[in-house]
Structure 1
């Protein structure tokens, strides 16, 4: 959410940032609404001033037993005009807020130019893709061939019978491997990286979704219940919104939280994309990291968070690369984003497995989250950051494809074996 005062102060800068994202300018139209609203408010104040003066005149006339009918008629007219102007100002205020709510975050100057993912820049690459002596299979080919009691361990057909497309039912060793991945990631972020483990609701209110910039922009990509609860698209929503409306003591910062949760996305607009396999699902698990920090610390926190996500891939021995997203590919609420892409040998492609974003004070303004400086003074908006640490289903895909064997089995990465009672191979 943007402060209208910032837009008034730098309309050209706002439009220039939108142009970097490939979007049309909005400053003139929003400021025109704002000016009309302010004019209505000024007219209301002028009429209130005149009514106050009339009240004194009417009092003086009545004390002298005179006729105040003309003044009283003018006062009634002014009251009616004030009611109309007040309604107009409120309607315009709603329009201004609605317009500001759909303007994306301002971009960090370091964000590279470009209109889509083809302009993203490789920051660094870690690990060497394995040289297979056979043609590697995709994860769904491996998973559907593995069986448990005569049924596929990765079962899309049964999931479709239960729920429709873009769901999967996991059994046996593959189900256990997914559970192990989530536990491994949580343990690492808590024990090694200092995040506080948090169990969060997966049904949240509209203010929580709005405060974390998921509404109104992404309403068509989310699920809403009849009762008005929203299913979380990511644990970023409840974790970040946990400080909604709060004024934190500066001594509490940074606040670092992590959660393993179910996530739900309608995948609107993705028809025909990744229809096979687990890459794009309506329901999936993800380990999320969220940080709440003082403004001067957010850039360093962004680097720290991204490194925490990278460490997961390093220990799983999965080749990956860090991408700096270009202006046109940076998300609505983000000022700057790093994506981590894992190498999938079955696809012979790099695929996103984590996204780490610095939203600066964009979310904090929407949910009124502030901190009180230790040196005194007025409360200041915090900066919030979020990152996948990692998407569990996509990490399962990466493990299966990178650790597969010619006979169709999958070797369990050594770091995961303690979570699987020492099991070394899935068959």
Structure 2
């Protein structure tokens, strides 16, 4: 493992407030000793009262103008002090904002923003499925419901030529994240056409004017899910490839689908397919893919790509490939990094282990038992403040209530 640089010659500013941001800040602190600055309108527990993060609290009423103003102020101050500053984010809305404002922000920051046309392809589940089809990368059968004309008096949702139950979700996360309405979920399991019409009606009334995708339901519990994380440098080379088998996902309505426990395991075919997709579309930066093993035909099927490093990025760092090093080597040191394929096997988990074991059986339980014996890696468990130790303990305990409420026992579908 690389040694810590006691006097890094650059700063890090981030947008966001979840455990993914803390995981990134932790990676920079572990590798370079950096205390990152986080700009946020909500100071949530994952970034609160930390020795490795300085938080700029914009307040809950702040929007995009206030965020950009804070970025300008921070950027001007650091540039005047002669500092090089790396600007990072880990949310769809921020990815879009940085892409749109990259030229302006580069007055003060090093901005690893995805080009707008590339973002339009990679962040859009409809376009993602289309490109995967061109590249012979398997995906679930996907239909599209377009809400862009939903203000017309004669608008109505189209019929769905799929066998129910199906899965419905927004095609572009950035168009959906800020909406507030009763019954909102990140992903919907839909049992009947009538239920789908009801969901579409609520989505329409919320003001959503983009597209939803409706996909065939791939059977299999959470252990059939796979995660891929990659970094593509400025020259177009994939310098980081990591994969993991999910053991259990989160199941609250607005977090469903986020892995809560994973074992890093190399899946060479998935790495090759992900690298092929990223090369084909000309992608640069961090990317995260969601994939599921279809038990009906034994084929791994790609669901989507997130144009960012992902909420659970610390699983890569915990496995020995510190994510901070790849982007720093590329954009700060401006040199190439040898490709790293993560092969080390570790258990990443935000859950109490007795709770996790309750949901595992067979091969997954044996895998957990074997790998957990070597230790459990939690992104928030770090040499930080006493307050944070209490927060992590409380967050773990809260998971017991969450699973009892939303997912009291494992199901064959993962819903």
Q: Which has the higher helix share?
A: 1
Higher relative contact order (CA 8 A, sep 6+): 1
- Normalising by structure 2, we get a TM-score of 0.26
- Normalising by structure 1, we get a TM-score of 0.26
Larger radius of gyration: 1
